[in-house]
Structure formats: C-alpha cells, structure tokens
C-alpha cells in the first residue's frame, strides 16, 4: 500500500506521569483528569506508520476535556494531512479505546480538531453516530484493524 | 403536571437494549438488543417477567422489533442485513421466514395498520415495502431510493397506507402507492432538522407527525391536504407537511426516540443525556402553531443513553430501554 503522507513530522513523547504519594493513597478520591485520558490513548498506533498518535501530534493533552460532574470526555484529534483517508479509522480507534477503558458513565465525544481536515463535518457525524459505530464494531475485519492500532507496543 | 413513577426495572439482556415494542393488546411487550435475542415480557402476580427468549434468528445485533396488528407475528430487523418474521403457528414463536435483499444493516421495520404491508429500511439508503401475501409469502413491492444516506426509521400512518421514513440525510420522507400504476412513490420531503433524524411518530389521527433528531430538537409537522381551509398551497393533489412547532432547549444531547400516545396525546422522548421527558399540547393551542409544554422529566432515568420509549396501548404505562442493559416500566399519572 502506498503511504499518503510519506514524511510526517515526528515529535517527542511527553515524560511518564509522576505518581504522587496522594495518588497512591487509596483513601483519596482520584478523579479522572485530562492526563489520565491522554495516557490511555497516546500509545495508539498510526494505521500507516510505526509511530504513536502522540508522536505524530494527532493527539495532544491540551485538546482533551474532562468534566467529571457531567460525565463528559471530549477528545479532539488532528489528522497529519487535511485529506487523510484514515481519519475515520483513527477516530474510531480512539473512541473504542476510551469505550473499553473508561467507566460506562462517561459520554465520549471524539472529533477532528476544527479546521484540520477537508471532510471534518462528515467524519465527526459518523463518529458521533453510536448506531453506526456499533455496527462497525461488529465487522470482524474492521475490529481486527482497530485492535492492531490500539495495542500499545 | 403529570408524573412518571418507576414501577419496575428489568435486567436480562447482555449489553445495550435497542428497542421495546408493545403487543397490540398491551399485556405483553418485546425487547431486543446487542445480545441478538428477543425477549417477551408478561405480567405475573403484578410483576413483569421474561417468559420467552427468541434466539438464533439473527447473527448480529437486533436493532428493532415490531408486532403485526393482529399480534400473531413479530418482525425483527438486524444488523445482519436480514429481517426475520416470527409466528406462533406451532404454539410458540418461531422464525419461519427471513427477508433478504438489503445490502447492509437493517435499521427499522414496521407493519401497516392492515397487516398487509411491511416496510424495512437500511444503511444501504433504501426503504423496501413488502406485500404480505397468502401462506406467509412476502413479496417485495418497492425499493425506494429517495434518501441520500443511511435510513434510520420507518413507520406507517395509523389508518392509511402511507409510509414515513427518517434518515441520516436530515430529512423525513413520505411515500404512498400511486393508485394509477401501483408504484410506490415519494410524495413529500420534510426538511428542517439540521442533523440525523432518528425517529418519528404519528399522532392518532395521522395528520400530525413528531420527529426527533441529533440536532437536539423535536419537531411537530402538520398535514395540509389539497384545498385546505388555511389556504396553504399544495401544488398538485398531494398534501404538504409543514413544521408547525420546534421544541428546542429541552434536550442536551441526541434525541434517539419519540412516542406519541394514541390514548392521551402525550409525547415522550428518549435522549442521549439519560433523561426521559414528557410533553403535552397546551389547551387552546392554535392547531397551526401549537404550543407544547414539558409536563415531566426524569433526570438519570437510566445510567446511560435512553434508546427507546413506548407508551402502552392504554397510555398508562411507559417502557424505556437503555445502553445500560436495562428496561424500565414507568406508571404515568396526571
């Protein structure tokens, strides 16, 4: 298969999260924060390159919002090029990883960072349609591809 | 103000419950979901319980079920691209017919009021009308390709052979059989929603239609027949449908389903914000610009998205189901 974006920019990974004494104390309620959500998804592999979504700057912690009171998680991602045909697959991989890892109470929204993709609206609409996402996840071929992206190296 | 009181919580399905449907007599209802089963619920000693499980009819999620008006058949629409017809000729429900033809997921299925027609719709953008012939033969009477995207829902008019469909293309379409050549044609396109139309429901007269959408609104449409006294132009002989009311500002996420009670006239909605809301038309409201008020709203009615709401034929019970795997039975009182 020919690569769409032959030479993507590669960025450094952030340092591992430092675990504080408070976080190790089971008596302290530790709410889910943007860093925790980022850590769940930053290792997802790009479908084309042997690089993580973090290294390609597809995902950034600053583009994640978490509202614990209203059970909302919103992730914006930036395709490497505006015509990336993998945009829906990448969004779906992020969505699936969060559906599997976060408590069921969270409503997860995954959208393209505004202005970074030619078909932003239609990709967002597809990712927000839980019926189409559910049907996609019953497709054996597709779920295999998604699982390959999700497994961290 | 009305009141919805939780009567019972029913949890038997594994995973998301997509749909619940009342038997026309109101003593039994069916549910279906991700676990590929249909469950029949009936009352025993004042409590609803799951008596019958219909399995092995579908290979993938069952998205919707519909009872025939006589109550002897159940049709089930599945992501496996087929629609199954279950009958109880042997004494218990069995799948004896499978309707094939759609290219991918079947999203919805509905019977006409006479039971002589069945409609299905799919992600393949088409709506199919099936003639129910003698000996349980189902013949495809029409393949309607009027929508430009995934079709989410089909429903028949309460007393005419008029079919309405809702789509991911943001529109609702009305179809009928052309009496001159028996071809099914699209007679009206209802445009106003700004995103996917997930569901729709006629009122008891069939001259009004309520629709709900991913744009977080509910809309009420009024039919104006040719020669109407309001003077609404209709062009040819066909009726026009006009949006006469938009309920906005109530729902905070996608509205997945709507049920218009044929007994009480109340409208219930199922929303992605986990809330069930009930709306009532205000007294003396102008039929050409009606006002609807929210009469009750149950926050956190389920732990996750509410996928479906269904008023019982008597109008006294509302059933809801959710992504959280549960079905809830609510008693409505004025």
Residue B254 with chain A: CB contacts under 8 Å: 128
Q: What CATH number is given to the structural domain containing B285?
A: 2.130.10.10
Task: Please say whether the beta carbons of B156 and B138 come within 8 A.
Answer: no
Query: What is the per-residue pLDDT for B236?
Result: 74
Q: Does A125 touch chain B (CB under 8 A)?
A: yes
Q: Does A121 touch chain B (CB under 8 A)?
A: no
Query: What is the per-residue pLDDT for A1?
Result: 53
- State pLDDT tens for residues B290-331: 999 999 999 999 999 999 999 999 999 999 999 999 999 999
Mean residue pLDDT of chain A comes to: 91
- β-strand partners of B221: B209, B243
Q: What CATH number is given to the structural domain containing A66?
A: 3.30.300.130
> In which domain, by residue range, is A34 found?
29-150
Total domains in chain B come to 1
Give the pLDDT mean for B30-59: 96
Query: What is the per-residue pLDDT for A18?
Result: 77
Residue A135 with chain B: CB contacts under 8 Å: 60-61, 79, 104-105, 123
Q: Does B107 touch chain A (CB under 8 A)?
A: yes
Q: Does B49 touch chain A (CB under 8 A)?
A: no
Mean residue pLDDT of chain B comes to: 96
Of the candidates B79, B150, B303, the beta carbon closest to that of A105 is on B303
Q: Which residues does B176 contact at the CB level (< 8 Å), separation at least 6?
A: B160, B161, B162, B163, B184, B185, B187
CB-based contact A132 B150, cutoff 8 Å:
yes
The structure tokens 């430009």 sit at B148
What does the DSSP 8-state code read for residue A61?
Answer: G
Find which of B19, B150, B152 to mutate to test the A interface (most A CBs within 10 Å of its CB): B150
Torsional class of B293: left (φ above 0), alpha (ψ -120 to 50), beta (otherwise):
beta
Residue B303 with chain A: CB contacts under 8 Å: 104-105
Q: Which residues does A145 contact at the CB level (< 8 Å), separation at least 6?
A: A47, A89
- State pLDDT tens for residues B247-273: 999 999 999 999 999 999 999 999 999
Spatial distance between the Cα atoms of B117 and B99, rounded to a whole number of angstroms: 13
Of the candidates A130, A132, A138, the beta carbon closest to that of B60 is on A138
Query: What is the per-residue pLDDT for A152?
Result: 64
Q: What percent of chain B has pLDDT over 70?
A: 100
Q: Does B303 touch chain A (CB under 8 A)?
A: yes
Is A1 inside any structural domain? no
Q: How confident is the model at residue A26 (pLDDT cuts 50, 70, 90)?
A: confident
Query: What is the per-residue pLDDT for A16?
Result: 80
- State pLDDT tens for residues B158-195: 999 999 999 999 999 999 999 888 899 999 999 999 99
Q: Which residues does B31 contact at the CB level (< 8 Å), separation at least 6?
A: B13, B17, B19, B20, B21, B38, B39, B41, B65, B321, B327
Give the pLDDT mean for A82-89: 94
Q: Which tokens belong to B287?
A: 């039929």
The structure tokens 């004896």 sit at B96
Total domains in chain A come to 1
> In which domain, by residue range, is B78 found?
3-333
Torsional class of B45: left (φ above 0), alpha (ψ -120 to 50), beta (otherwise):
left
B 216-245 → A contacts, CB under 8 A: none
Residue of A nearest to B302 (CA): A105
CA distance B167 to chain A (A): 12
Torsional class of B246: left (φ above 0), alpha (ψ -120 to 50), beta (otherwise):
beta
ipTM of the complex: 0.95
pLDDT at A6 over 80: no
User: What's the whole-model pTM score?
Assistant: 0.95
The structure tokens 């996840």 sit at A137
């Amino acid at each position: 298969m020919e690569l769409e974006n032959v030479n993507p920019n590669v960025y450094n990974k952030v340092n591992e999260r430092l675990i504080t004494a408070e976080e190790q104390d089971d008596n302290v309620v530790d709410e889910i924060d943007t860093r925790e959500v980022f850590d769940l998804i930053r290792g997802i592999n790009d479908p084309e390159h042997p690089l993580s979504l973090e290294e390609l700057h597809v995902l950034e912690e600053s583009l994640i919002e978490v509202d614990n009171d209203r059970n909302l998680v919103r992730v914006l991602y930036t395709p490497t090029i505006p015509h990336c045909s993998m945009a829906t697959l990448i969004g779906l991989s992020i969505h699936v990883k969060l559906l599997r890892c976060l408590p069921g109470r969270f409503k997860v929204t995954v959208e393209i960072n505004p202005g970074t993709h030619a078909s932003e609206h239609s990709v967002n609409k597809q990712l927000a349609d839980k019926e189409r996402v559910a049907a996609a996840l019953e497709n054996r071929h597709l779920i295999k591809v998604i699982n390959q992206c999700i497994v961290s190296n | 103000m009305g009141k919805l009181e939780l009567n019972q919580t029913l949890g038997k399905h594994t995973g998301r419950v997509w749909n619940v449907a009342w038997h026309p007599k109101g003593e039994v209802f069916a549910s279906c979901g991700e676990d590929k089963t249909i469950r029949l619920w009936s009352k025993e000693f004042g409590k609803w319980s799951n008596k019958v499980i219909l399995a092995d009819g579908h290979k993938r999620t069952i998205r919707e079920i519909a009872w025939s008006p006589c109550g002897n058949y159940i049709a089930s629409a599945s992501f496996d691209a087929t629609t199954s017809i279950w009958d109880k000729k042997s004494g218990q429900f069995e799948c004896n017919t499978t309707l094939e033809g759609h290219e991918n997921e079947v999203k919805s299925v509905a019977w006409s009021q006479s039971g002589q027609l069945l409609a299905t719709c799919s992600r393949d953008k088409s709506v199919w009308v099936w003639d129910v012939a003698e000996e349980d033969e189902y013949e495809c009477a029409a393949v309607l390709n009027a929508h430009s995207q995934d079709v989410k829902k089909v429903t028949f008019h309460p007393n005419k052979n008029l079919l309405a469909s809702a789509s991911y293309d943001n529109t609702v379409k009305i179809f009928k059989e052309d009496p001159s050549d028996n071809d099914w044609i699209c007679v009206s396109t209802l445009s106003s929603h700004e995103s996917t139309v997930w569901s729709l429901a006629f009122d008891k007269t069939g001259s009004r239609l309520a629709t709900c959408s991913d744009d977080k609104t509910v809309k009420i449409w009024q039919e104006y027949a040719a020669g109407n006294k309001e003077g609404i132009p209709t062009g040819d002989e066909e009726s026009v449908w006009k949006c006469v009311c938009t309920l906005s500002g109530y729902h905070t996420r996608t509205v997945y389903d709507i049920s218009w009670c044929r007994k009480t006239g109340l409208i219930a909605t199922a929303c992605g914000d986990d809330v069930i809301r009930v709306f009532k038309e205000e007294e003396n409201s102008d039929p050409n610009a009606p006002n609807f008020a929210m009469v009750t709203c149950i926050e956190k009615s389920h732990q996750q998205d509410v996928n479906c709401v269904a008023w019982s034929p008597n109008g006294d019970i509302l059933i809801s189901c959710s992504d959280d795997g549960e079905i809830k039975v609510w008693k409505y009182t004025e």
